[in-house]
Amino acid sequence: MSTDNQDDDERDLFRKAVGKIRPVKQDKIHPKPKRRKPVPEQTLRDQREVMDSLLSDDYEPADIETGDELLYTRPGLQLTVIRKLRRGQFAIEAELDLHGATSIQAREAVNTFLKNARDQDKRVVRIIHGKGNSSEGKMPVLKGKVNSWLRQKDEVLAFCSARQNDGGTGAVYVLLKRMN
């Protein structure tokens, strides 16, 4: 038997088994299964980074007077590096002046300034917080806040009050971690 005859016989056998057919009339579209909504991972990472970068005003290491020097170092930092920072022997690569800023403005400015400095791979920056001469009670408000905020930032390795000709106790030198 040839394959053409065999195919015809099978077709006839199939038609007899199935019987008469008629097209199904349908005007509806089959619904597609609902896809899961995409997870905005980059947005979530960005939001997490913003939350991590927020500085708390609740953390107060100690009351600070106008003439008090600030000094903070992370464990493991070499003494020679700290000494050079305190002597102002590093080149200042960027500067932020907070004179006239409110605490809220200053906090935002410090956050943005440190992020930009890190993004530009700057290592040593100066933040001028002032001595509080124009604040109520002649007490340095921003000095204590900056002291607190910088201690909370992981990218800050050390900071100390500046030399007299760079602002003295009204400014700090900040040493930042290297970018990886």
Report the pLDDT value the prediction gives residue 2, as an integer from 0 to 100.
Answer: 62
Q: Is the pLDDT higher at 165 or at 139?
A: 165
Higher pLDDT, 97 or 67: 97
**How far is 171 from 161, CA to CA, in rounded Å?**
6
> What is the spatial distance between Cα 159 and Cα 77, in angstroms, rounded to a whole number?
12
Model-wide pTM > 0.85:
no
What is residue 65's predicted lDDT score, i.e. its pLDDT? Answer: 47
CB 107 within 8 Å of CB 56: no
Residue 166: is it exposed, middle or buried by C-beta count within 10 angstroms (0-12/13-18/19+)?
middle
Classify strands 156-161 and 171-176 as parallel, antiparallel or unpaired. Answer: antiparallel
From 21-35, 56-70, 103-117, 161-175, the region with the lowest mean pLDDT? 56-70
AA identity, residue 54 = L
Please report the domains of the chain, with CATH numbers, ordered by start residue. Answer: 69-176 (3.30.1370.110)
Q: In whole angstroms, what is the distance from residue 62 CA to residue 167 CA?
A: 21
Alpha carbon distances (Å) from 88 to 2, 63, 82, 108, 140: 100, 25, 10, 26, 22
The span from the CA of 16 to the CA of 30, in Å, is: 30
**Radius of gyration of the chain from Cα atoms?**
34
* pLDDT at 140 (0 to 100): 74
Q: Kindly report, residue by residue over 53-94, the tens digit of the pLDDT.
A: 555 555 555 555 445 788 999 998 899 999 999 999 999 999
| pLDDT tens-digit series, residues 109-139 | 999 999 999 999 999 999 999 887 666 666 6
